[in-house]
Amino acid sequence: MNKRNTQQRRHSIIALLNEQGEVSVEDLSLRFETSEVTIRKDLATLEKTGLLLRRYGGAVAVPDEVTSQFTAKVAPNKLSIAKAAAELINDHNRIIIDSGTTTAGIIAQLNTKRGLLVMTNSLSLANQIHELENEPTLLMTGGTWDPHSESFQGQVAEQVLRSYNFDQLFIGADGIDIGRGTTTFNELTGLSKVMAEVSREVVVMLEADKLGRKIPNLELSWESINILISDDRLPLHAVKEIESHGVKVVLAPYTEK
C-alpha cells in the first residue's frame, strides 16, 4: 500500500478514536482489510506524534490533560513566527530545518508546498516531516547525538551537509547580540555554521524577549544571516541596528493564544 493510502488510513483511525474513544487492532485490521502487523505500525507511529495512547490489543484516545501538555510544546507566538517563515518557502525548495521548538512550528505549514527536499538534524522533526501528506524528500544529517540540543552534531553531520547545497536554512537561537549576531547556550556551534555555509539564504527565527540575553557563545554572525524573523515586540532601535548589518527583519504579530 502506498504512503498516501497509509496516511488516509491513519486519519481514519484517529477519526474512529475521536468517535469511539478506543479501537482494537483486530477490528481495525478487518475494517481496513490489512494485516494486524500493519495496524500495530500505524498505532505506534500515531502514538509517537501524540495522537493516541496504545493499550494491549488496541489504542485509546489521549486524555485532555495530556493533549494540552503536548500542544503546549509549540507556543502560539512561536507558531506565529513559524508561519511567517513558511511564507518564504517556495515549491521545490531545498531547505534545512534545525532542531528547536520555534523551528518545529514550520513543519505543519509545509503541507501546502510541493516538491520539497528537507534536511534536519532532529529525530523529532524528521518523524513529523515523514508524516506530511505532500511527501517531501527527507534527509537526516546523522552524526553524534547531543542530549543538550536533542539533535545530531559533529564532524559526520558536517560532512553530510557539505555534500549538498540548499536554498534556505531555518534556525533558532537562544539570544540576540546586537553587535555580533545570534548566540546560544550550546557550545557546539560548528554544525550551525556549516548549515549557513551551504545555504543560499539563512533565516533566523526567535522571539523578541531573547534580545539582550548575556550568552557567551556566538552562533551566527550578522554577516552569515539574511533574514531575522521575530515578533512585533522587538524594539524599533533593535530593528534598525540589526538592519544596519544588512539583515532583513520580519516581525510577526505577537500572540499569546
**Total number of domains in the chain:** 2
What band does 56 get if pLDDT is binned at 50, 70 and 90?
confident
Distance of CA 208 to the CA centre of its chain: 19
136-157 pLDDT tens trace: 999 999 888 888 778 899 999 9
- Co-location of 109 and 199 in the same domain: yes
Q: Which CATH number is 239's domain given?
A: 3.40.50.1360
83-92 pLDDT tens trace: 999 999 999 9
Global model pTM greater than 0.85: no
- Co-location of 37 and 66 in the same domain: yes
More confident residue, 131 or 66: 131
- Co-location of 80 and 65 in the same domain: no
Task: Examine residue 162 and state whether it is found in any structural domain, yes or no.
Answer: yes
Task: Examine residue 86 and state whether it is found in any structural domain, yes or no.
Answer: yes
Task: Examine residue 203 and state whether it is found in any structural domain, yes or no.
Answer: yes
- Co-location of 190 and 224 in the same domain: yes
- Co-location of 96 and 160 in the same domain: yes
Domain boundaries, position 44: 3-70
Task: Examine residue 257 and state whether it is found in any structural domain, yes or no.
Answer: no
DSSP-H helix ranges across the chain: 3-20, 25-32, 36-48, 64-71, 76-86, 123-130, 155-161, 190-197, 236-243
- Co-location of 104 and 222 in the same domain: yes
Residue given cell 548589518 in the structure block: 245
